[in-house]
Structure 1
């Protein structure tokens, strides 16, 4: 059995060896094929790596070539620009040298010509100076004579103005006395009016020495005679009520002189005569006066121009004292006469100061002469009147800082009167008027003029 088994084992071993041999051959063949495949793959990778490297170096080489080419071009341009600048600078220097040389030569020729011309001009100037001096001396004599003649003419004109002013004072005084006599005669025929009280009011008006004092006394006396009274002063195109102490205001706002709501105030301003309500004429709307209630508006005139209106009525209810309209009208007329008289007096005083000066004043330097003092006083008179008759506008103008614009018509009129009476030869004439605008109208603050 063992021998048989040994005989059967021999072929198996051979089979295994044969299998081993075939497997080894196949493995060797596969390894050989794998090695060839791996070698080809490595060769291909190497070739591709070399190609990629060549491409990268080619890009870098091209970039380096472009960079160096740009640098070279820039250097070349810089060198060319520098060379051109040097060439241009050299050309300019050469040209400037040539121009400088030409200028030096031209200056020398010009200085020589100027020296010759200066010498000729000096001789001509000396001759003209001598002739001009003769002409100036003659002109001085003529100018002195003309100034003297102008001064004499100004004095003569001022004398005539003063005479007219004195005549105006006398005429205003006569008118005032005639008004007083007329009032007294009317009172003798009017037993219903308290003559004593009205005469005392007239005497107080005659004693008042300021325009504002006359207005205040007139308004106060009218408030006593009539149940209601108010004094309106004209401020440009509007009527402003003059406020009275302890008396309620009739209108808290200004009224246009040409407005329908002004009622008989408008008619009094336009006609310059006393106007009573009735026959289609009505009291101002601010009075709120009922139908059939009596009202009166008396204009206050100065130099033929209405400057204010004295208004009165019998109130909204109750009976009024008899004769009050006539009494108020008498007060208004007498106040107008007194205002005219005071204005004439002031004008005459100003003209006397301008012409004669103040004899009691001590000697002054030339710039503070009597003529100058008279001009200052006349300017102060004119500006004071603007301030008096335009009290509301002055107050608003100071608040708004536009006095010159707000009071332009009044200031122009005052300046015209000032220029007509103050000779143009007086030094500082315009400055005196301007100073009074600042001191009197703007209360010393020039900024308020606007």
Structure 2
């Protein structure tokens, strides 16, 4: 099991690195939620005997850092869930993701199980699943308290314990990650690391949901996750195409996508990530300043109203991509004009460059 102090430091480092540049309030909230949720497990870990661990290419901290980064690199909901499952498989012998709908659990994908786990239905009215749904917090107990049929089919974990980690999106449990130590005596079961991954996936799913709805509250918030997981496992769901944005005026921003023909695959990937990061930064400016955006468009003074946010996000973008092959592409400026000014550069007013 990872060292408690190491995990605590990792939480701060991971949240800072992965969410760097995103809205400050969100960063604080993610840090608070992850740290608070880890406290009980960290205390348990401190009392547990330490085991020597080694992993090719890095220790537990490196693996967890990489797994969290993979989650935040994913764009679609299904890809986020798969990244979380793949990451969890590095820290626990068996993991299965169950989608929650109408109070019941339906399995979607799993890692580490010998048999097919897809399509298993489990009641969420009682037992360990019921506790996870009502508490909205990770719960652990004897595996038989999860579901007798499931355990009889796939085998009781060697330590007899099962762990459920709810994915909470907009204060609703959208899915539950089941994990255990597997049937072999040497099975891994680092639930502290799994909890970090689940919290990261929940936070990223929530950001994506907010971006798609413009920040409006919705009673059916977890439904997109259920829809993503309902798709056949090998094929992520295909979202309905968004209508193309109106063509920019002649004085609009630099082209959103520079020609990348002739660039190496590595350089093309840098351009892709830079464009995605610029869009994320500007999306979140709009998300948390919708009234100012509307007023700024009407009064043609967007930049003066949002100068602090725009300049701070631009600095964050430049810090990450200002010294890369994407430095001269103008992605951040293009996204400011496209997203905030609705492709009307005059709406930004004087002073914007």
* Alignment TM class, shorter chain as reference: 0.3 to 0.5
Structure number, greater radius of gyration: 1
Q: Structure 1 or 2: larger strand share?
A: 2
For normalisation by structure 2, the TM-score amounts to 0.45
Higher helix share: 1
Tell which has more relative contact order, 1 or 2 (C-alpha 8 A, sep 6+). 2
